[in-house]
Structure 1
Amino acid sequence: MTRRARASTRGLRPLTRVLLANAGPRLLLGTALAVFTVLAGIALLGLSGWFITAAGLAGLTASAAAFNVFVPSAGIRLLALLRTAGRYGERVWTHDAALAALAALRERLFVGWARPEAARRLHRRPARLLLRLTADIEALESIVLRIAVPIAAAIGAAALAAVLVGALDVRLGLVLGAWLMLVGLGVTARTARLARPLALRRAVAIERLREQAIDLGAGQTDLVMAGRLQAHCETLRSTDARLARADLALQGLEARTGAVFSIAGSVTLSAVLLAAAALVERGRLDAPAAALALLVALAAMEPFAALRRGAIEAGRSALAVRRLAPALADDAHPATADSLASSGAGSPPSSASTDPRPATPEAGLACSLSGVRAQHEGAPRPAVHDLHLRVALGERIAVIGPSGAGKSTLLSLIAGELTPVAGHVCALPAAWLTQRTELFQDSLADNLRLADAHAGDDRLAQVLCAAGLADDIARFTRGLDTPLGEGGLGLSGGQARRLSLARLLLRPARLWLLDEPTEGLDETTARDVLARLHEQAQGRTLLIATHLAREAMLADRLLVLAHGRLGADLHRGTVGFDEALAALRGARGP
């Protein structure tokens, strides 16, 4: 077994656990109905052939009056009804089981990805993670609907064919059953092996095509300014051509597999016909029994031919299993909703506190760090070194320092978005307002309800008023139901920031982490936002990462970071505090 095959096999274990845990009974029932439907179809065709032949021969002899037409015809009607009902039930239960399993897998992936550094990974490779949640999850559907269930049905068909034909002639039944299994499963396995590299090339081409198309749409202006628009379009066309070649190769393989199954079916039918004719000639079979054997062999090959599509999809499904297995195997726990709800920027509002989340600090503290060293993924050196910090409940602290000093990293550690390489972090659940405002293409109300899914309109109106946005919303025709475009399109920068502040206010968290909350706002709007933050933060602990004097003035304590180390811890009323505040940008503003 190859390394990739072993990886896919190991990846099937967590997938199977999720599948059985969420849809096991339905899947087993659907599979049983699929097998039953195939068996009923084979029995129906065999009985029909026997009945027609026997009735025809009886009509040529004097035994026509004694021939019982009622029992076989009733059996045919019963089998037809059972096959129809079985097919309906099989489709309902297997698809229901598959959809339930895929929904559980998506939830499991969300939880598995809501870990430290998840937001940065999402921003670095958004197309790749989106592909995991869409195309890769959908590829797993084929494992149930086009591989597992059809294989069970095909094996059942081979077993029934061997039993029915074996009842007429044991050797013919054994040979037929072995031939069906050998050819059917052998061709399927061979096709799946050939489809694997083609599926890999196709998946890579789709991923790159999506990334390049997104880059073209989002960065068209930059590409024009850099003179790279034509080159990017050529790259996009080249990727599209590679995708087309991979699709053609897979379609060709599917066509060849279909031809092989057709040839195998013809060979099977011819061989059974010759064998049945020889047995009839020897007097070991009568004509109706020979017709039954012939039609049973014809019907038994059909379920194996249906595996053709599953064999083509197997390569794509194996690739999806290998990609998703690490996330499915992790023992991920649901993250707290604090950072998810109040995140206004920097990262999509995904949970910042995950497993392992910061432990609860000792009484009287909002957070504490002891000997913490942290390093971002792919970074050549640690972002913070040997960091020791204790923040009491109710304190207001500003973290200052040059860009790259480790201010945002410190907030990430406290929020649980970044796991320390060494040391310990303890913190209360925090609401995190990050640098960029992340809003979604949805209504104003639903953007706010990311912080509290059960908040009523009165509560939303209350926090909008506290954030200074109530008058603006009142001027909108649809009020809280006003739809926003992607990224909050339709709001000004100040309105979007105030909406993030309103979302922050919906959270009951006692610890607020603010990362440059007024960056990019004009002076008037910024001071109004800060005044509202000051008013609404009564009784809460504030930790503000900033390089602006207007933001640092909210604090009673300044932490000065330099090169990832805590250089000074200054309290209001000291000379060092005043000097550090005066050195910040905007200290002598208008």
Structure 2
Amino acid sequence: MSRNAARQADRWVMPFFKRYWKALALALFLGVATFGFASGLMVTSGFLISAAAEMPGSILMVHLPTLFVRIFGISKPILQYLERLTSHDWVLRMTSSLRLKLYETLEGDAVFFRRSHRTGDILGLLAEDIGHLQNLYLRAVFPTVVAWLVYALAVIALGLFSPWFALAFALVLGVEVFLVPLVSMLANRARVERRKAMKNELYGELTDNVLGASDWIFARRGAEYLSRHQAAEQAMRDENARLDRFARRRDLASTAVFGIAAACLLVWAGGYFGGAPGGASNWIAAFVLGFFPLIDAFAPLPAAATEGCVYRDSVRRLNELPQAAEQGESAPDIEAPLAIAIDHVAFSYPGSARVVLDDVSLTIPQGQKVAVLGRSGSGKSTLASLIRGDLAPTSGSVTLNGMPASRFGDDMAKHIGVIQQQTYLFNMTLRENLRIGNPAATDDEVWEVLAHVGLADLARRLPEGLDTLVDEAGMRFSGGERHRIALARVLLQDTPVILLDEPTVGLDPVTERALLDTFVENAQGKTLIMITHHLQGVSAMDRVVFVENGKLEMEGAPAELERTSERYRHLLAFDRGIAAG
């Protein structure tokens, strides 16, 4: 990709420069003014010291430089405060917008994000890449532009006295402003990129190994895991040490350049203003001392250039994220009863030639209980995603009361309640976990749904009742209890459709049967769609649909299929055999 094409494709840096350009311009002006007043303070102080050394006959003879020392001395910290306030406000406004955009991007693709990214990648995006963009603005863009402006103004100011010396001074100081940052960037580019890659990998490895810590321990390989992690940490420390060694040598070179520039300025000022003591010679100290505050403007340039590779990698990673869906037209306004219609649907995932669903047609009227069965990879979970509107079909249509499911967005939660394989409970109270789908639910409504799902007695036995913390990930409760809590959430939402996406995976047969009975009992009058891979509980369904290789292979009432389909009877016997065993 060309540089122009990359700039046009950027969605994370340039748009925010354009949005906040006024604040940026004000921050740059205040930054340059701060260094100007700092230099002015040293210029007037140098002149005042030289003039006072002549022991003037009256204080009035140094009154004017004294006045300017006070003006610059008072104004400089005020300007510095305003510059920091403006620049940090500008940066924090942008990074808050960046974080909001990142959360919207992750949320919009949350259902499928884990297919292409590890948990560590998400942590890296949140903790590292957004932080790098904040530093890009605060430690690279802002100080670099301010330094270039100060450099230009300093050369122009010297040019008013001596154009030839201004050119020579520009060449000497240009070594620090342009050459040292360029050399620093070229010398450390590979190291910085390697360190960034190592840190990204550490995020992935650490989260992966922490989530699987029990497996390391049960396999008696905990020491091996620790040694691997320590080796990775040591490799990154070694990389940091090499970068630090180069930085110390680079800073020594920069100090030498500043010393040479100050010496050149002293020699030139001595020749230009030299002669009899007093008078114009007082400007010698003024010019030399006025240069030293400007060093603080130029010193950050090499480090900013070195870190540029990190910023580029962060921008690249962020631009590779799927684009957040723009807020288009409002979601369709529909009311129960809801009819779900799947009409000649075909679907393939982007970048894949495999057809996951092929010419699938299915109609589910309000109140019907349907079991969608199929082996892993058959397309049944993709079908559930199409019904929820998380995906749009490649061809054909999936509609609710005639409206495309993909148009509902977040409003789909008003119509379809979902219970997934792994119910997540947040580290909040039981009441807060139950009211996630309906924050306005009263305690009476909460107790009512708990009674419906068979958890009222359990809730009363908890130390603080509904105010009891459920612990992180709901570890206080068993798998079956967590699924019942998920059902209680859906019942509080009071959606006309309940979608069960293999909710009994990992449960023992007795708990599974009891949980399925609870689901069916509490879905009276509602549409119940159960995605599953075996036939446990399907006898309570009105209809069974078999999905195989992306097509509907069998469809009908359970009793009818058991009577007419040899294949169904074989599958049923096989499933019951597993349950019996």
State TM-score, norm by structure 2: 0.84
Distance 1:519 1:331, change over 3 A: closer
Distance 1:72 1:586, change over 3 A: farther
Q: Deviations over 1:341-384 (max 9, x none)?
A: xxxxxxxxxxxxxx999999999763333333334578784332
Structure 1 residue 413, shift from structure 2 partner:
2.1
Match of 1:295 among 289, 292, 310: 289
1:46–1:292 CA contact under 8 A, matched in 2 = yes
SS of corresponding position for 1:439: coil
CA distance in 2, matches of 1:441, 1:378: 38
CA distance in 2, matches of 1:475, 1:232: 40
Q: Deviations over 1:285-304 (max 9, x none)?
A: 92222222212222223211
Structure 1 residue 324, shift from structure 2 partner:
0.6
Q: Deviations over 1:491-549 (max 9, x none)?
A: 11122111211222233543321112334445665455444433543443221112454
Match of 1:569 among 555, 572, 579: 555
The 5-angstrom pairing of residues 259-408 of structure 1 reads 259-281=252-274, 286-327=280-321, 330-333=323-326, 366-375=339-348, 381-408=354-381
Question: Is residue 2:194 matched to residue 1:197?
Answer: no
Structure 1 residue 267, shift from structure 2 partner:
0.9
Q: Deviations over 1:172-225 (max 9, x none)?
A: 345435643553133224323433322221122122223333344333443355
Distance 1:575 1:467, change over 3 A: closer
Give 5+ residue unaligned stretches, structure 2. 406-411
Q: Deviations over 1:242-262 (max 9, x none)?
A: 212221122123223312221
Q: Name the structure 1 match of 2:36.
A: 39
1:444–1:480 CA contact under 8 A, matched in 2 = yes
Q: Name the structure 1 match of 2:14.
A: 16
Q: Name the structure 1 match of 2:81.
A: 88
1:142–1:314 CA contact under 8 A, matched in 2 = no
SS of corresponding position for 1:393: coil
CA distance in 1, matches of 2:577, 2:368: 22
CA distance in 2, matches of 1:365, 1:446: 29
Q: Name the structure 2 match of 1:467.
A: 453
Q: Name the structure 2 match of 1:447.
A: 433
CA distance in 2, matches of 1:175, 1:67: 38
Q: Which amino acid aligns with 1:200?
A: E
1:548–1:587 CA contact under 8 A, matched in 2 = no
Structure 1 residue 234, shift from structure 2 partner:
4.1
Q: Name the structure 1 match of 2:389.
A: 416
CA distance in 2, matches of 1:363, 1:518: 28
Aligned length: 562
Structure 1 residue 136, shift from structure 2 partner:
0.9
Structure 1 residue 72, shift from structure 2 partner:
2.3
Q: Name the structure 1 match of 2:478.
A: 492
Q: Deviations over 1:38-95 (max 9, x none)?
A: 22111111121112112223x1xxx532743333223222222222122222223322
Q: Name the structure 2 match of 1:106.
A: 99
Distance 1:122 1:491, change over 3 A: farther
Q: Name the structure 2 match of 1:119.
A: 112
Question: Is residue 2:45 matched to residue 1:48?
Answer: yes
Q: Which amino acid aligns with 1:84?
A: P
1:401–1:407 CA contact under 8 A, matched in 2 = yes
Structure 1 residue 273, shift from structure 2 partner:
0.8
Q: Name the structure 2 match of 1:352.
A: none
Q: Deviations over 1:137-157 (max 9, x none)?
A: 111111111012212321232
CA distance in 2, matches of 1:103, 1:90: 20
Distance 1:142 1:247, change over 3 A: same
1:98–1:145 CA contact under 8 A, matched in 2 = yes
2:172–2:257 CA contact under 8 A, matched in 1 = no
Q: Name the structure 2 match of 1:77.
A: 70
1:359–1:425 CA contact under 8 A, matched in 2 = no
Q: Name the structure 2 match of 1:340.
A: none
Q: Name the structure 2 match of 1:338.
A: none
SS of corresponding position for 2:503: coil
Residue range with higher mean Cα deviation, 404-413 or 505-514: 505-514
SS of corresponding position for 1:506: helix
CA distance in 1, matches of 2:208, 2:524: 44
Question: Is residue 2:187 matched to residue 1:213?
Answer: no
Distance 1:143 1:12, change over 3 A: farther
Q: Name the structure 2 match of 1:351.
A: none
CA distance in 2, matches of 1:109, 1:66: 63
CA distance in 1, matches of 2:397, 2:333: 11
Question: Is residue 2:508 matched to residue 1:510?
Answer: no
Q: Deviations over 1:381-411 (max 9, x none)?
A: 4332222222233332111233433222211
1:437–1:500 CA contact under 8 A, matched in 2 = yes
Structure 1 residue 485, shift from structure 2 partner:
3.3
1:527–1:550 CA contact under 8 A, matched in 2 = yes
Structure 1 residue 269, shift from structure 2 partner:
0.3
Structure 1 residue 109, shift from structure 2 partner:
1.8
The 5-angstrom pairing of residues 60-75 of structure 1 reads 64-65=57-58, 67-75=60-68
CA distance in 1, matches of 2:2, 2:121: 20
Q: Name the structure 2 match of 1:435.
A: 421
Question: Is residue 2:500 matched to residue 1:542?
Answer: no
CA distance in 1, matches of 2:543, 2:454: 27
CA distance in 1, matches of 2:2, 2:447: 55
1:116–1:416 CA contact under 8 A, matched in 2 = no
Q: Which amino acid aligns with 1:437?
A: T
Distance 1:377 1:156, change over 3 A: closer
2:539–2:558 CA contact under 8 A, matched in 1 = no
